[in-house]
Amino acid sequence: MLNVLSREEAVSLIKEKTADIVPATEKVNISDTLGRMPAQDIVAAENIPAFDRTTVDGYAVIAADTFGSGASMPAQLDIIGEIPMGESADFTLKSGQCAKISTGGMLPKGADAAVMVEHTDNADGLCLIYKSVAPYENVTKKGDDIALGETALKKGSKITSAEIGVLAALGIYEIPVYKKPVLAIISTGDEIVKGNIKQGQIRDVNTFLLSAAAKEYGCEVYEYGAVKDDRNEIETALKNCINQADAVLISGGSSAGTRDMTVEIIDSLGKAYFHGIAMKPGKPTIFGIVENKPVFGLPGHPLAAYFVFRLIVSEYLNNIMNMPADKPKKSGVLAVNIPSNHGREEFLCVKYDENNEVVPVHTKSGIVSVLSESEGFIRIERNAEGMFKGTTVEIYEL
């Protein structure tokens, strides 16, 4: 079955085969939406602010009344009242008049600017203004923050504290979000154990690493744990996970070795669509569908499993929840030449050196600590013969 696809081909095949999978939605209180994905655009049904507001403590004025005023020639305006916070003024300002106002207060009718108290003097009911203001100076106009009809929250943009603030301003306290997809995680390998290990055994890393990565992508996780390289055990695990989850990740047992039966099991319970992607790490990646649920076979090597999650599984998650593909957020200049001519798209963990230039973090096979030492990873194109020192590279965050 090892017909190797490019990453783009793999991603688009997954997209095509999972096109009819739509996550359910649920209404959630905004206080519980941090990190969730909105299931629809949220449009502002009102203006924020709902009225013209001052941004300073001082006097609401008609800007034209202050024109030409300066330190030696202050404008003189009658103070006709004070606007209490949280209330609207019950008067209209006419030329020659002003009213006391505090930051955030509502401008009275007729006023179109505010003068900072620092630029005024108050003498016998008269306000002396030492600095002219332009129309709407020191004012946030109605709808300046969020205008009626504006999209306040876009479908597919992960909700952060900033968006929750916007929703609160609009008085929207409950919104529809996608239900968290449940990802089941199975680790395979006769040598894989949790807890105490004997000579020759190694601890299960993938269950925990992939579970955390899945949670970072807004998933819930069903950790099945580690199973032996045994057809019945793997089959039982996969059937159980298909019942419990929306998608399944099986790590290990995905290379073309004699004991590697993951692809056969997926194909016997459903259909395996590919086995092999021209990427490094991550070549022995499997994708199939069992009972209309995607099943991803990941390499056993924890670093490779992580990359396949970040570059393949994440695309599937982004896709069903309408999220844009991950983009590199940092960049830097390579401090060294990086050779590569594998005919595979390559991903390399990197960090900044003492000169703030980018260097690879060397990956000895089987070592997982490389992830925690890295700043992120770079991408080397499939047909590039490496990259030269001095090249600016984009860095994907881990």
Q: Kindly indicate which of the ranges 299-307, 313-321, 333-341, 378-386 contains the residues binding ligand AMP, using the contact rule CB under 6 A.
A: 299-307
Which residues, other chains included, contact 244 with Cβ-Cβ below 8 Å and sequence gap of 6+? 182, 184, 222
Peptide bond into 108 cis (omega under 30): no
Rounded to whole angstroms, the Cα distance separating 42 from 295 reads: 33
Task: Determine which residue in the list 106, 175, 184, 192 makes contact with ligand AMP, applying CB under 6 A.
Answer: 192
C-alpha span between 189 and 260 (Å, rounded): 9
Number of residues that bind ligand AMP (CB under 6 A): 18
Q: Which has the closest alpha carbon to 283: 213, 395, 382, 387?
A: 382
Q: What does 187 interact with, of Mg ion, ligand AMP, none (CB < 5 to 8 A by kind)? A: ligand AMP
Strand partners, 290: 293
CB of 289 to ligand AMP, least distance (A): 21
297 touching Mg ion, by CB under 5 A:
no
Please give the single-letter amino acid code of residue 178: Y
**Position 345 contacts ligand AMP (CB under 6 A):** no
Residue 185 sits in the site that holds ligand AMP (CB under 6 A): no
Pick out residues in 234-253 that bind ligand AMP (CB under 6 A).
Answer: 251-253
* Candidates 28-36, 39-47, 208-216, 244-252; binding stretch for Mg ion (CB under 5 A): 244-252
Strand partners, 277: 5
| From ligand AMP, Mg ion, none, interface partner of 205 (C-beta below 5 to 8 A by class) | ligand AMP
Residue-wise DSSP of 74-101? -EEEEEEEE--TTS--SSB--TTEEEEE
Q: Are 183 and 247 in contact (CB under 8 A)?
A: yes
| 50 vs 367, beta carbon nearer ligand AMP | 367
Q: Segment near Mg ion (CB under 5 A), from 52-60, 112-120, 174-182, 253-261?
A: 253-261
Phi, psi of 340 (to 5 degrees): 180, 125
Q: Kindly tell me which residue out of 38, 49, 105, 189 binds Mg ion, with binding defined by CB under 5 A.
A: 189
Cα separation, 185 vs 237, in Å, equals: 10
Q: Taking CB under 6 A as the rule, does residue 7 contact ligand AMP?
A: no
Could you tell which of Mg ion, ligand AMP, none binds residue 254, using a CB distance below 5 to 8 A set by kind?
ligand AMP
* 254 near ligand AMP, judged by CB under 6 A: yes
Q: How far is the CB of 236 from ligand AMP (least distance, A)?
A: 18
Burial status of residue 95 (CB atoms within 10 A of its CB: 0-12, 13-18, 19 or more):
exposed
**Binding span for ligand AMP by CB under 6 A among 63-71, 265-273, 293-301, 383-391:** 293-301
The contact set with Mg ion (CB under 5 A) reads: 189, 252-253, 300
